[in-house]
Structure 1
Amino acid sequence: MSGDLHTLRVSAVVIFYNPDAACVARANRLAAMMHCVVVDNSPSLRTASEVGLSAAISYLPNGANLGIATAINQGVVSLIDAGFDAAILFDQDSDPSKELLDGLPQLLDEALRRHEPVALIGPAYEDSRLGDVTPFVRFGYLKLHRIPPVGVTPIDVDFLISSGSCINLAAWEKIGPMDDALFIDFVDLEWCIRARSKGFAVLGAPELRLAHELGGEPVRILGRLYPSHGPLRHYYQFRNAVALIKRGYVPFTWKSTELIKFPFRLAIYGIFLRPRLVHLRMALTGIWHGLIGRMGPLEQH
């Protein structure tokens, strides 16, 4: 990266859901370094001061869990209305360095000055529990192609997870918002696919890092560590995968890898995760709801 300062107006968007004191402290540290919007999906409706947030933070409480897509959309729309050029998205567990906060907008600005149609740019992710830097991904038939995050030149990729991604808000208005109907899981992937289908690039910044926990507490299965989730998240994963497989603009390369993974995931959840039958039932319910088009939050009675 060059030493020139970027000229973009940039803000962070942090999504809360029942945050603990450490999450609030991270948001306050972030707000000391740049403009910050916090969208709170927690069921309890509180003021910013009751949560413990800095007065510098723009606080948008929902009083209900409206899903990650809706929360991101709320934060981004507030920034577009305020005249910002870029938004860096974070979940409540993310603790970005100043290098990341400076580096992502600078790389985006340099790409836009070269007249490259960039939708977003994001870092490589480090999950200390899995013990490695996660490679970037391109879709391939029957398997994903993993691209090591090496060098300093941004890498053209097929998708990035939302946390740590710096979005070009001029592109957002052409691509459209995150898909509210997905609620959670594959929200970021769907938006990246849609962006690429409209001619925009998704770029990985190999020299930048964000510590990020991918999924729940990992489980070791046959010598390998896999991120795990609760049964409800597995419902959304299977439902949304099926929903995206049905969509025409989603590339067949991605669809083929998901279809290959389905039986293995069902076996892992049904054998290794407890309570086994609950995991399996929620996954199968998700597949059924994806097939019949039942989207949005799952209504549980």
Structure 2
Amino acid sequence: MDNSEERVTATDLGLDSSIDYLANGANLGIATALNQGVARLIAKGHTCALLFDQDSEPSAALLTELPRTLLAERARDARVAIVGPAYEDARLGGVAPFVRFGCLKLQRIVPVGTQPVEVDFLITSGSCVNLRVWHHIGPMEEALFIDFVDLEWCIRAKSKGYVVLGAPALRLAHELGGEPVRVFGRAYPGHGPVRHYYIFRNAVALILRGYVPWRWKSTELVKLPCRLVIYGLFMRPRLTHLRLSLLGIWHGLIGRAGAL
């Protein structure tokens, strides 16, 4: 699924004829693109989907082992909704831990060993989704457009009794966001002002939802003012970052959704 505004064909890109390529001709949001791809896989009878975006570089081993891991875990527990690897971004300090929600602070799980571990959410890229339960959980929420789409889907899956698993033995090379910025020696993913609008808007929107656990809400309530300071002071143009971040907070409070 291609969300770029320039409408091209699979032939223009030199893609193999076996690739099912869809050019949207506009940025419809990551959730819409993922839903389009999953719908085509389900229509063809597939029972799992590997999801990636342009910032990821999956190895051949990952493409093989992720579906195998999902099939093995699904055989043990039909409630498994999604399995994902630990991602590695050298710009942000190497392999990122898996995450569980905790009061005021995320619980970080170092990816060691070979046995999958239950976590609270996975990033979309590199994840392998169990399509047998897709219709019960529901598609990705298109109104969010981008940011927290993966988190909301995982939270919704867990609220319906499904399981989210991290595979510590598997790795994905992935760049999270743009060029990082350093604040007091710590690297933070860098994004443009519009992306920060979506981060704030969707965080506020999810905080207002009943099925979203309070443990996650508590960590976001701590992070939001910190993000606002970092974006407003350390990312340029400062006023644009600050203005769109505040606009995102306002639109989250009043229920504005979709594309900005």
Verify same fold: TM over 0.5.
Answer: yes
Q: Out of 220, 223, 226, which is 2:185 matched to?
A: 223
Asked if residue 281 in structure 1 is aligned to residue 238 in structure 2, the reply is no
Letter in 2 for 1:83: G
Q: Out of 148, 173, 181, which is 2:143 matched to?
A: 181
TM-score, with normalisation over the residues of structure 2? 0.98
> Are the aligned partners of 2:55 and 2:176 in contact in 1 as well (CA < 8 Å)?
no
Query: Deviations 1:116-138 (Å, cap 9, x if unpaired)?
Result: 41000000010011231000000
Q: Out of 205, 210, 217, which is 2:172 matched to?
A: 210
Which residue does 2:46 correspond to in 1? 84
Asked if residue 64 in structure 1 is aligned to residue 1 in structure 2, the reply is no
* Aligned-partner SS, 1:207: strand
* Aligned-partner SS, 1:129: helix
* Aligned-partner SS, 2:175: coil
More contact order relative to length (CA 8 Å, sep ≥ 6): 2
Aligned-residue identity in percent? 68
Which residue does 1:133 correspond to in 2? 95
Following superposition, the deviation at residue 296 of structure 1 comes to 0.0
Query: Deviations 1:203-253 (Å, cap 9, x if unpaired)?
Result: 000000000011110111101111110000000000000000011100000
Letter in 2 for 1:120: I
Asked if residue 254 in structure 1 is aligned to residue 216 in structure 2, the reply is yes
In the alignment, structure 1 segments of 5+ residues that lack a partner are 1-38
Following superposition, the deviation at residue 51 of structure 1 comes to 2.2
Following superposition, the deviation at residue 52 of structure 1 comes to 2.4
CA distance in 2, matches of 1:244, 1:216: 24
Letter in 1 for 2:140: M
* Aligned-partner SS, 2:21: strand
CA distance in 2, matches of 1:115, 1:225: 38
Which residue does 1:292 correspond to in 2? 254
Which residue does 2:130 correspond to in 1? 168
Following superposition, the deviation at residue 153 of structure 1 comes to 0.4
Asked if residue 52 in structure 1 is aligned to residue 14 in structure 2, the reply is yes
Following superposition, the deviation at residue 115 of structure 1 comes to 3.0
Which residue does 1:232 correspond to in 2? 194
Following superposition, the deviation at residue 93 of structure 1 comes to 2.6
Which residue does 1:43 correspond to in 2? 5
Following superposition, the deviation at residue 198 of structure 1 comes to 0.5
CA distance in 2, matches of 1:115, 1:253: 26
Following superposition, the deviation at residue 260 of structure 1 comes to 0.6
CA distance in 1, matches of 2:37, 2:141: 14
Q: Which moved more, 1:233-242 or 1:87-96?
A: 87-96
Hey, which bits of structure 1, 4+ residues long, moved more than 2 A? none
CA distance in 1, matches of 2:98, 2:234: 28
Aligned length: 260
Query: Deviations 1:35-81 (Å, cap 9, x if unpaired)?
Result: xxxx0101111111112222221011111100000000000001001
CA distance in 1, matches of 2:233, 2:83: 38
> Are the aligned partners of 2:81 and 2:162 in contact in 1 as well (CA < 8 Å)?
yes
